[in-house]
Structure 1
Amino acid sequence: MSQEPQGLVERMEQHQIAIYLGAMALGGLLGWAAPAAGPGLEHAINPVLGALLFVTFLQVPAGELFRSLRDGRFLPAALVVNFAVVPAVVAAMFAFLPADQAVRIGVLLVLLCPCVDYVIVFSGLAGGDSRRLLAATPLLLIVQMLLLPGLLYLFMGPDLADIVEAGPFLEAFLFLIVIPLALAWALQAWAARTPAGRKVSDAATTTMVPLMASTLITVVASQIPKLGGSLGDVASVIPFYAGFLVVMAFAGRVVARFFRLDAQASRAVVFTGATRNSLVVLPLALALPDELAVAAVVVVTQTLVEVIGMVAYVRLISRLVPQREQPVTAA
């Protein structure tokens, strides 16, 4: 009896890309067929996202996080590609973005923040070192929340203070990072002491794929009704998102070679540089004034482009970073 649920979990993990694509399609259909459900679904985004991040953090033992801080090459590579290379790439494309302020804020919100959830899935499917990437996840979250206000100010100028309030950033940090991480570590401590805790922990980790699918359905369905007459503005950012994926594939590869990483770690660096944190920054976009509501749709659009791009990444990464490649040795 106990083998049947496990088999279902394994099948979901094997077919998770198809499940995520299907979830987004279902969300789009739901948003189109029942637009009145959009506001209610918006209120469900934070709870379902918090649950997803809790399960993600549950897979990061506290000791692994502290050990990741001493990862002399991988962690610096992940930080450089996300917080030095990515802002430079975004700066190069910024002048060519549509002039609409809401569109620009949406693009900045999503492209300046590295992904912390399904990047681990896709990296693992492509043979990347998901364990090291998972251990670095809380730090990547903390750094992006600390740097995002300053980066937005650099791009948008002093008018930013009249548009974006600090409250939503602090709220997102508390409810999407601090609380899920604290609860995950509390469950880890319980699991280390009692069999009951281990059962609860094991059961929680099996919900990763359903929670991700639920999050995608909720996010897409809640934002589709907002498109209205903004379809042209939203569609105009798709080439930028696609171009970003192409550029970051090679940029991540260059960074990985600079830090002399092996093939698995290099693939993980490529994925963390390319995937963005659309689900976590969406609450920030939703907190913007009504006249900037399209920013949230711009953020969700990046998710649609990225998941399709990740299918290509998984198939092509072996050519960009051959599996047998050895770390580059110093001269």
Structure 2
Amino acid sequence: MLKALEERQTQLYAGIILMAVIIGQNFKDSLTFLPQLIPLSLGFLMFSMFAQIPFLSLKRAFSHPQFFVALFMSNYVVVPLIVWMLLHSFSPDTTLKIGIILVLLTPCIDYVVVFTKLGKGDAALMLSVTPFLFFTQIILLPLYFWFFIGSETLEIINIKSLLSTFLYMIVIPFSLAMLLQLGATKTTSFQHLLKLSAWFPVPLMALVLFLIIATQIPLITANLEQISAIIPLYILFMVIAFMSALLIGKLMSFPREEIRTLIYSTGTRNSLAVLPFAFALSPDIAGIVAAVIVTQTLVELVGELIYTKMTPYI
């Protein structure tokens, strides 16, 4: 049942998104309490995702040095170049740029494993590198902001709110997940809890999607012209990321499974996991930045389905 739930999560998310759009558009005056549920739901989601990432097996990420180098180059050299090119081509305003930077420069660490499996990639290999991707993107994110936005970053981002968000949405969930994983190596009760936690990410992701889209859809429609203008940017990103990863994999003579894995890591972004940082921004831009991130999620889900139809033939 868990395997079926994970493999059908895209269909579940699509249904939840449609329901959230309808409810958010037609009953927005009755949903004023929903925004208060978002931080708590995100915190539980982050914990459930962290619990499934094998942080205690980080050394496995280095067991295949060629793939590790390709993964690093693809996510932290090629992707920033792609984003830089797209930002210069589309020239979005600073608020939209913040959302784009948050979502496109952070590689996915959760459902990318499922899509890798669906696309006939090496899901175990993808899972083994997720701890590395998690730590590196957290370290590099402030540098990205400084590089892409410059000193204006300090005027936009409230450092106190950002640190508070980092504590409650990243540090505490991560620490609890680590304690659970450590406990699972020692006692059977913790092992059962860890196995039970594997059921949480998909329903919690669906819940967070519903809460955010239902509350943000009025903002998206109110700024539809601005937000719809960046949809082609997101589509182009998925196309260029696909082609770049394919080229890197071919140049490095990787087996087909590893090329597919590299494609999914390069093209799949950390959309919902960076939402806490969006909500840590000043109130006048937090909503629109969150809407920009959610828009990427909607585009990506369609793109991932296309990926899964294409990659088995590589």
The answer to whether the superposition gives a TM-score over 0.5 is yes
Distance 2:170 2:252 in 1: 29
CA distance 1:154–1:197, change in 2 (3 Å): closer
Segments of structure 2 that go 5 or more residues without pairing to the other structure are none
CA contact (8 A) 1:145 1:173 kept: no
Distance 2:78 2:300 in 1: 18
Distance 2:278 2:55 in 1: 31
Distance 1:69 1:253 in 2: 21
Output the TM-score relative to the length of structure 1: 0.86
State how 1:21-100 maps to structure 2 within 5 Å.
21-36=14-29, 40-100=33-93
Residue 233 of structure 2 is aligned to residue 240 of structure 1: yes
Distance 2:36 2:128 in 1: 30
Matched residue, 2:176: 183
Segments of structure 1 that go 5 or more residues without pairing to the other structure are 1-6, 322-331
Distance 1:297 1:65 in 2: 33
Q: What amino acid is the match of 1:300? A: V
Matched residue, 2:293: 299
Matched residue, 2:305: 311
Matched residue, 1:113: 106
Distance 1:220 1:294 in 2: 12
CA distance 1:200–1:163, change in 2 (3 Å): same
CA distance 1:243–1:85, change in 2 (3 Å): same
Distance 1:39 1:113 in 2: 30
CA distance 1:219–1:138, change in 2 (3 Å): farther
The one-character-per-residue Cα deviations of 1:98-140 (angstroms, maximum 9, x if unpaired) are 5422122221221111112211111111122222222222321
Distance 1:236 1:33 in 2: 24
Distance 2:9 2:132 in 1: 26
Q: Secondary structure at the match of 2:193?
A: helix
Distance 2:30 2:125 in 1: 39
CA contact (8 A) 2:60 2:129 kept: no
Sequence identity (%): 33
CA contact (8 A) 2:165 2:276 kept: yes
CA distance 1:58–1:274, change in 2 (3 Å): same
Distance 1:135 1:46 in 2: 28
Q: What amino acid is the match of 2:242? A: A
RMSD: 2.2
The one-character-per-residue Cα deviations of 1:69-89 (angstroms, maximum 9, x if unpaired) are 444122222221111101100
Residue 191 of structure 2 is aligned to residue 198 of structure 1: yes
Distance 2:269 2:113 in 1: 12
- Say which of 236, 260, 263 aligns to 1:267: 260
Distance 2:260 2:31 in 1: 37
CA distance 1:144–1:188, change in 2 (3 Å): closer
Range with greater deviation from structure 2 (108-117 or 95-104): 95-104
Distance 1:191 1:17 in 2: 30
The one-character-per-residue Cα deviations of 1:1-35 (angstroms, maximum 9, x if unpaired) are xxxxxx4x343234222111112112222221232
Q: What amino acid is the match of 2:269? A: R
CA contact (8 A) 2:169 2:276 kept: no
**How far off is 1:268 after superposition?**
1.5
Count residues with an aligned counterpart: 313
**How far off is 1:66 after superposition?**
2.8
CA contact (8 A) 2:166 2:277 kept: no
**How far off is 1:38 after superposition?**
5.5
